[in-house]
Amino acid sequence: MRPPRTWTCWAAAGLAGGLLIVGCSTETKQRWLHVFFTGVDGTNALSASLPTAVVTNVVAVTAAVPAAPVVYMHPLYAERKCDACHLTGQSEQLRATGSALCLECHQKLIANAKFIHAPIRDGRCDQCHEAHKSTERFHLTHRAQELCLSCHTQVEMAKVNAHASLGTAECLSCHDAHRSDQKGLVKSVK
Ligand code: HEC
Ligand code: HEC
Ligand code: HEC
Ligand code: HEC
Ligand code: HEC
């Protein structure tokens, strides 16, 4: 009762094909994760298996590329606890929308505050923070000072009495980005 030869052959081909698909998707996934976590495509690693002459060229090309910048990540993203914010580890869908998601864990940030910065009141953490990562500390969308000045113009700020000698002073040296118990989001002296 041996199965016909063709059947065995197809089964083997099927198995090989299956392995191939698994092999491919794992590699793609790893490459994807690599890009995801370092922002650098791992394809240059291939140069190790290229002939020397070609490697020289590759080196010449990559030498002109500036060093990869530091990447700041949300700790849970870095720990790959994707389901802390997404419905499942595989889903793009979020467990909650807007700042409701963020405030599930970060209530302390604004709890009992007398004054809350307007964008936060409006539920827009994303106006200043990337959800996953960025090249700015606290995974901000832009450098903090640029962020402040993208909504509050230098010209308008110069008109504020308290800013008489503002110059290029860091906004955050006097203001809190999120909340304060003092008027004008002035940092509370603790
Ligand atoms: C701190 C919460 C948080 C964690 C942890 C997190 N995500 Fe997200 N993710 C978000 C938010 C918020 C968005 C929507 C971002 C937007 O619309 O700009 C998002 C969007 C996405 C998207 C849609 C495409 C994109 O980048 O906008 C993918 C894919 C994704 N996340 C994958 C992941 C994976 C994989 C992990 C784990 C390694 C992860 N996320 C961890 C909050 C999180
Ligand atoms: C499931 C809980 C959880 C959710 C949801 C969450 N965070 Fe966090 N977040 C943490 C923990 C835990 C830390 C690390 C401890 C800390 O700094 O409080 C952290 C740290 C941070 C930090 C500081 C990172 C650093 O470099 O020190 C920022 C900024 C931040 N979260 C923003 C967000 C934003 C924006 C969202 C919504 C997109 C969000 N978080 C959603 C748990 C969460
Ligand atoms: C107007 C811009 C802005 C918005 C909107 C904003 N943040 Fe921030 N956030 C900042 C800046 C700037 C820093 C860095 C503060 C510093 O350097 O002192 C920061 C730092 C943080 C930190 C880490 C340091 C800390 O103070 O604990 C957390 C956590 C955080 N933000 C969470 C959030 C969450 C959650 C939201 C939405 C509810 C949010 N932020 C909305 C600008 C913003
Ligand atoms: C996405 C736009 C946006 C960004 C980014 C932003 N702000 Fe604001 N900010 C606002 C709005 C809107 C108001 C409310 C203005 C009003 O009521 O006239 C406000 C109000 C303020 C106030 C006055 C609060 C009060 O109670 O009088 C201060 C101080 C302030 N922001 C500081 C900052 C600082 C510091 C930064 C950078 C960390 C910053 N803002 C970034 C939109 C922004
Ligand atoms: C030397 C400390 C200091 C610095 C630096 C500073 N501020 Fe202020 N700012 C103040 C004080 C004090 C007030 C007045 C608070 C009040 O209403 O009593 C104020 C008020 C404001 C207001 C409310 C203006 C209004 O019309 O009521 C905004 C918005 C603001 N600052 C944004 C900024 C931004 C953006 C930066 C950075 C470019 C900045 N501040 C830098 C101290 C400072």
Note whether 107 and 175 are same-domain residues: yes
Predicted confidence (pLDDT) per residue in 27-70, tens digit: 334 444 444 444 434 333 333 344 444 444 444 455 567 788 89
The DSSP 8-state label assigned to residue 180 in this structure reads: E
Asked if pLDDT for residue 71 goes beyond 60, the answer is: yes
**First-residue to last-residue Cα distance in the chain:** 85
Predicted confidence (pLDDT) per residue in 137-156, tens digit: 999 999 999 999 999 998 89
Predicted local confidence at residue 5, as pLDDT: 45
Residue 35 lies in a domain: yes
The DSSP 8-state label assigned to residue 86 in this structure reads: B
Mean pLDDT computed over 149-171: 90
Q: Find the 92 Cα to ligand 1 centroid distance in Å.
A: 7
Predicted confidence (pLDDT) per residue in 17-29, tens digit: 433 333 333 333 4
pTM score of the predicted model? 0.83
Asked if pLDDT for residue 168 goes beyond 80, the answer is: yes
- Report which protein residue has its CA nearest ligand 4's atom 37: 148
Residue 176 lies in a domain: yes
Q: Find the 163 Cα to ligand 5 centroid distance in Å.
A: 6
Mean pLDDT computed over 109-136: 96
Predicted local confidence at residue 62, as pLDDT: 54
Mean pLDDT of the chain: 76
- How far apart, in whole angstroms, are the C-alpha atoms of residue 175 and residue 46? 49
Instruction: Please give the structure tokens belonging to residue 113.
Output: 């505050």
Note whether 36 and 113 are same-domain residues: no
Residue 21 lies in a domain: yes
Residue 167 lies in a domain: yes
Instruction: Please give the structure tokens belonging to residue 69.
Output: 């910048």
Which ligand is nearest the CA of 162, by number?
5
Mean pLDDT computed over 154-174: 90
- Report which protein residue has its CA nearest ligand 4's atom 43: 151
Note whether 121 and 185 are same-domain residues: yes
Number of domains in the chain: 2
112 lies in which domain range?
98-190
Predicted confidence (pLDDT) per residue in 73-104, tens digit: 999 999 999 999 999 989 999 999 999 999 99
Residue 33 lies in a domain: yes
Residue 49 lies in a domain: no
Residue 145 lies in a domain: yes
Residue 151 lies in a domain: yes
- How far apart, in whole angstroms, are the C-alpha atoms of residue 16 and residue 12? 6
Note whether 181 and 113 are same-domain residues: yes
70, 76, 87, 97: which to mutate for ligand 2, most atoms within 8 A of CB?
A: 76
Percent of the chain with pLDDT over 70: 66
Predicted local confidence at residue 88, as pLDDT: 93
Longest dimension (CA), the chain: 96
